Amino acid sequence: MVERTASGAERRRYYRIDEEVYLTHRRVASEHLDEAIARLDEKRARYCFLNDLDLAREEQLPAWCLLRERHPQVADYLLYLEKRIDAVAKHVAEHVGLTYGPKQRVNISAQGLRFYSPKPYGEEDYVELQIVLPDRRCVLVIGGVVWCVDDPHAPPEERYAVAVDFDYIHEADRELLVKHIQETQRRRLAEQAAADDEAP
């Protein structure tokens, strides 16, 4: 189930990166927030089940390592079954009919998102977000608007810069964002180091 995140000083700090994602966003009226949360849970079951499988795998890793020490053949067979399940799950995920939003560059963490919008949002607004990462993994969240800045000189589709804190997000989706950001940072650092080594 999608859970409400901590607020204020209780919020954890997360790394942020600039990234290109497929993004869909829409305003949620406060009186319809409960309906939006229920709808988010239903959509997650269809579009985000790979995230749940990843989280379950991470939670069971200590038990699997212990099993590997005591019964390596059983552990190897379970690993084989897990890979087969992953293959089936990825095949299903590719055929669930997920509709991608426009691709845009955002600034993202596991706690929030800054994106561009052709329409303004108010600081009391909630926003329903569908974020599809470069690897086609989907994250569904509801966030509260922190600020919205009007830039009349920007292209019409990017006129408003909007910052959102993730107020309702499933633990598996947050962990996916944490892992994606960490792996992206490591890859970019390695690429930069390689480029520096090749420079004259």
Which pLDDT tens digit goes with each residue over 52-111? 667 667 767 777 788 788 888 877 877 777 777 766 666 565 656 678 889 999 999 999
pLDDT at residue number 60 = 73
Q: Which two tokens stand for residue 117?
A: 């919008």
Q: Which two tokens stand for residue 28?
A: 């949620």
Tokens 């390592």 belong to which residue?
A: 65
Report the C-alpha gap between 42 and 92 in whole angstroms: 17
Which alpha helices (DSSP H) does 10-145 contain, by range?
33-47, 49-70, 72-93
Nearest one of 162, 150, 175 to 58, comparing CA atoms: 175
Tokens 């790979």 belong to which residue?
A: 50
pTM here is 0.78
Report the C-alpha gap between 108 and 21 in whole angstroms: 10
Q: Place 50 in a pLDDT band, splitting at 50, 70 and 90.
A: confident
Contact between 38 and 80 under an 8 Å Cβ cutoff? The reply is no
Q: Which two tokens stand for residue 153?
A: 């000189």
Task: Parse the chain into domains and list their residue ranges.
Answer: 16-198
Contact between 152 and 159 under an 8 Å Cβ cutoff? The reply is yes
Which pLDDT tens digit goes with each residue over 17-45? 999 999 999 999 888 999 999 999 888 88
Report the C-alpha gap between 99 and 145 in whole angstroms: 24
Residue 158's φ and ψ, nearest 5 degrees, are: -125, 25
120 pLDDT more than 90: yes
